[in-house]
Amino acid sequence: MKIVIQRVKESSVVINNNAVASIGKGLLVLLGIVNEDTQEDIDWLCNKIVNLRIFPDENDIMNKSLLDIDGEVIVVSQFTLHANTKKGNRPSYIQAAKPDIAIPLYQNFVKTLQDSLGKAIQTGEFGADMKVHLVNDGPVTIIIDSKNRE
């Protein structure tokens, strides 16, 4: 499981000209899933997301977590995070999990993150053509792969 975390001042997801998600200060989380991902990957990543100290404290040092600032979250599925670009110019997405595997893992990720954060989170729509809007704060963008945790 791979995520891209973007610290945002605001973010939204639009599908067919309809806003389906919108947050203020917090995180936009782009989520890519592979066949080998498990609940263990989900638990580890969700713990990282809520406790990662990437928000400024009173001295403007990145020392506060999402929990500390009572921040909001949008999670957006993004299979392209697992693009293989080694050969040619057209990426291969063969490593990305197919919907029958990815959808339940995506849903478990969202539920686990909600439980870890202690409040509802916003989401895009799995498999939809989404327009993701954000004001990246910093900018702060962090990539985490659950397979590189050791």
49-73 pLDDT, tens digit per residue, is 999 999 999 999 999 999 999 999 9
Q: Give yes or no for a contact between 46 and 149, defined as CB atoms under 8 angstroms apart.
A: no
Is 6 designated active site? Answer: no
Is 109 designated active site? Answer: no
Write down the pTM of the prediction: 0.95
From the list 6, 39, 55, 79, the catalytic residue is 79
What is the band of 150 on the pLDDT scale with cuts at 50, 70, 90? confident
Beta bridge partners of 113: none
What is the band of 149 on the pLDDT scale with cuts at 50, 70, 90? confident
User: With 90 as the cut, is the pLDDT of residue 11 above it?
Assistant: yes
Alpha carbon dihedral 48, 140, 53, 57, in 10-degree steps, equals: -160
Q: What 3-state DSSP class applies to 127?
A: coil
CATH number reported for the structural domain that contains residue 143 in this entry? 3.50.80.10
Amino acid in the structure at residue 9: K
Which run of H or E residues covers position 55?
Answer: strand 55-56
From the list 38, 80, 107, 141, the catalytic residue is 80
Which tokens hold the place of 21? 């998600």
Q: Domain of residue 17: give its range.
A: 2-148
User: With 90 as the cut, is the pLDDT of residue 113 above it?
Assistant: yes
Q: Give yes or no for a contact between 137 and 7, defined as CB atoms under 8 angstroms apart.
A: yes
- Cα-Cα-Cα-Cα dihedral sign, residues 27, 102, 46, 148: negative
What's the domain count of the chain? 1
Query: Residue holding tokens 């936009």?
Result: 28
From the list 6, 39, 55, 78, the catalytic residue is 78
Is 85 designated active site? Answer: no
- Cα-Cα-Cα-Cα dihedral sign, residues 135, 141, 146, 150: negative
